[in-house]
Structures are given as C-alpha cells and as structure tokens.
Structure 1
Amino acid sequence: MKPSTITAAAALFLAAPAPFPASPAAAEAPAAARPFIATDFPVPSRIEGKGFQLVPLGPALVKIDFDAYMSSIEHLQKTFTRSAAWPHPGITDAEAMADMQAEAARFAGRESFAYSVLTPDGTRERGCVYISPSPVPGYDAVVRIWVTKAEYDAGFDRELTAWATRWVETAWPFRKVAYPGRTIDWQTWDALTAANPAK
C-alpha cells in the first residue's frame, strides 16, 4: 500500500466513531470470569499528548505500524518481547494485517486495548501502548510500552512511560497496574507469570 493511501486511510480511521486496536501484548492475557472492562466504561478512542497522539491500532494503520516495528527489530527483541518471535524480518503483509484485525477484534470486544502512538499529523508511528488483563493475581491490568529505536535514543521512551502511567492512573478504572520491564523488572515478572499460567 502506498504511503499516500495509508495517510488517507488513517485520516478516515481517526474520524471514525468506533475505536479500533493493536498487537502482541494480549497473548498473555488469560480468559477472565468477568469482563476486563465494564460495558459502561467509555474506552478512550483518541488521546493527545505533547508531540504525539494515541489512537487504537487497526487495519487502517497496518503500514505505519509495520514500518515502525520493522525499523527496530533487534531493539524490540531485546527490550519488548525479549524474543526473536516478534518482530522478525520475515513478517509478511498478510501476517501484519491479520495481527491488526485480531487486535481490532479484541479492542471491539473489550478484551484488550492496543494503541498506536503517532506523530501529531498521523503520518508516523513512534511506538505503541498495550493495556491487557493481568495473568498475575493482585493486578487488574498489565501495561506494555515500546518505542522505535530512534525514539528510544531520543529519550521518548521515558517521556511516554511517564505520560502513560499518569493517563492509566487517571483515565482507567484500575486499582493496581503492572508495568513489566519498568516498575517490575522482567525477571520478577517472568517468575510471577510462570507461577500463574493462563488456564
């Protein structure tokens, strides 16, 4: 898909009243006996920050998202997934679209919420924020964040993390949230999830 096509599609997406969503974070989420988010909770569909905006990831943003994570494969394998499974050089256009469609379905079903962090003009993705159910008892949700290598080197990771922490605390109905790799180191989080495998 040409960049001009994506820009037009993104504009339509941002104007749409129904939110779309995004990525590999929801894979950890266990099936919940009760809804992750109450049906009467108004899930944010577009949020503006200083120098960026969050919109739900979905098919209209597949090219922008693909370009972002493929620009930072090694960086994300080390800092986000800590695995060669994602991202990897062999991801196809069809796989990228299937991922976006799955994320959109989870968002629409209020199962998890994945957001693209875009530049103010919506032409480039700086990173992503994922909000999903916690597999570990005692936490209401898990928030995962990544930014591209270029954005990380520019200090945006710290900026986005601080902003997202405040946003989740003030705009979402969670009592206790886990931030793996940030407020909880990965080794501790891995041990907690291993002790509480998804049923």
Structure 2
Amino acid sequence: MPFTDLQIDIPQGLSTDEFVLRPITTGDAEMDYEAVMESRDYLRKWEQSTWPEDDFTVAANLKDLQELERRHSAQQAFTYTVVDPPGTRCLGCVYFMAPNAGMFTKSEITPVRSEQWEDYEAMVYFWVRKSHLASGTDRALLDSLRPWIDLEWKFQRRLFITNEQFTQQVDMIERAGLQLRFTIKEPDNPGTYLAYE
C-alpha cells in the first residue's frame, strides 16, 4: 500500500535527551554532507553503491535533499534527519519507504518463514554517523524508533532493513532482539538486504 493511501497524520519528529528527529530539508545540506562524508566507507556498503563518491559535493547533496524533501511533502517516502539536541550537528538519517516502492518491486524478496511482504506497511532504514557508533547512538536510535513508530505512526507492522555487508548494524539489530523476516536481493547488487521485525 502506498503511503498516500494511509489515513495517518505524519509525525513532525521525536526528541530525546540524546538526539532530535525532524523532517530533513534543504537547509540541512551542509550539516548532512559532513555526516555523510565522514561515514562514506560504510554507507557504500549500506547503499550497495559508490555513493557517496570521494568527489561528492555539498551542491550534489543539496540536490539529493531537494528530492527527499519533495517526496516527504508528497507523502511518497519520509526522511528524517537525526541531529544533536542543539541542532548543530547531524548524527544520521531515518528513512521510511512503502512496501511497493520501486526498489522493492524490482527485487527478489524471500520470506524466512511464513510472513507475507504485503502484510507490512512500512520499511525503515537508518544510519548513524561513524564517529557515534562506538558510543551506541545507533542502538539508542533504534530503541527510540520502535515505540515512536508504534505509538505515533500506528503502523500495524513495520520492518527495519539493513545490508548484510554492514555487519555492525546487523549485529546491533539482532542484539536488540529483532527477528529476520525477509531477505531482499536487488538486481546487480552483490550484497543482500535483511529485513527484521
């Protein structure tokens, strides 16, 4: 089901003692760029692409954020930036995708047990900048996202997705007690995505 068919009020964000989530905007281009470039080695595994290239620029990132902001406004997909409480440093991003997004319709999706892909309403991806992994910010973000999604988004079922090559995130998700439900193989990508509930 596309997000435009859901009768929900889109949450404006989430605040904790450690971070704030809010919809990403073009005004975040420089702050987001800094976090992306710091984390580029593992983001390439997570994305299964060469993005961000070594010569990636703030201007190119601004174009990306323009599209993310457009899709958020159109309720096609939702992107939230994760910033420190003062709002001066980007710590990562959270993305909500619909189960019928193009990236999924072109992929080979295999259930691990008897679940049906169509029973899920949202696919959630997130990353935390490299310098904040050792302090456990990624686990704190996941632990905050789970109740926020359940209480404010009111999705009946959602999946958290990562790539098998991003072993640090895979291990963290599994330590949090989430269970593998699907494997996702995109055409022409060497790694397999893993979807957890």
Q: Do they fold alike, i.e. is TM over 0.5?
A: yes
The letter of the residue matching 2:128 is V
Is residue 2:17 matched to residue 1:50?
yes
Question: 1:35 matched to which residue of 2?
Answer: 4
Question: 1:157 matched to which residue of 2?
Answer: 138
Question: 2:183 matched to which residue of 1?
Answer: 189
| Cα displacement (A) at 1:92 | 2.5
User: Alignment partner for residue 106 of structure 1, among 55, 71, 84?
Assistant: 71
The letter of the residue matching 1:189 is T
Q: Distance in 2 between matches of 1:149 and 1:90?
A: 19
Q: Distance in 2 between matches of 1:85 and 1:117?
A: 23
| Cα displacement (A) at 1:64 | 0.5
Deviations 1:82-118 (A, max 9, x none): x233222122233211111111111111111100000
User: Given that residues 96 and 124 in structure 2 are in contact (C-alpha distance below 8 angstroms), is that contact kept between their aligned partners in structure 1?
Assistant: yes
Deviations 1:43-65 (A, max 9, x none): 12232112110111110101100
Q: Equivalent residues in 2 for 1:132-151 (5 A)? A: 132-135=97-100, 136-151=117-132
Aligned CA-pair RMSD: 2.1
Gaps of 5+ in 2: 101-116, 163-172, 188-197
- Counterparts in 2 of 1:58 and 1:161: CA distance versus 1, 3 Å: same
Q: Percent of aligned positions with the same letter in both sequences?
A: 26
Higher fraction of strand: 2
Give SS of 1:154's match.
coil
Deviations 1:9-36 (A, max 9, x none): xxxxxxxxxxxxxxxxxxxxxxx56725
Question: 2:108 matched to which residue of 1?
Answer: none
Gaps of 5+ in 1: 1-31, 195-199
Question: 2:38 matched to which residue of 1?
Answer: 71
- Counterparts in 2 of 1:95 and 1:36: CA distance versus 1, 3 Å: farther
- The aligned length equals 157
Q: Distance in 2 between matches of 1:114 and 1:57?
A: 6
User: Alignment partner for residue 119 of structure 1, among 77, 80, 84?
Assistant: 84
| Cα displacement (A) at 1:144 | 0.5
User: Given that residues 3 and 75 in structure 2 are in contact (C-alpha distance below 8 angstroms), is that contact kept between their aligned partners in structure 1?
Assistant: no
Q: Distance in 2 between matches of 1:147 and 1:75?
A: 10
User: Given that residues 113 and 131 in structure 1 are in contact (C-alpha distance below 8 angstroms), is that contact kept between their aligned partners in structure 2?
Assistant: yes
User: Alignment partner for residue 29 of structure 2, among 62, 69, 75?
Assistant: 62
Give SS of 1:122's match.
coil
User: Given that residues 116 and 127 in structure 1 are in contact (C-alpha distance below 8 angstroms), is that contact kept between their aligned partners in structure 2?
Assistant: yes
- Counterparts in 2 of 1:87 and 1:116: CA distance versus 1, 3 Å: same
User: Given that residues 36 and 110 in structure 1 are in contact (C-alpha distance below 8 angstroms), is that contact kept between their aligned partners in structure 2?
Assistant: no
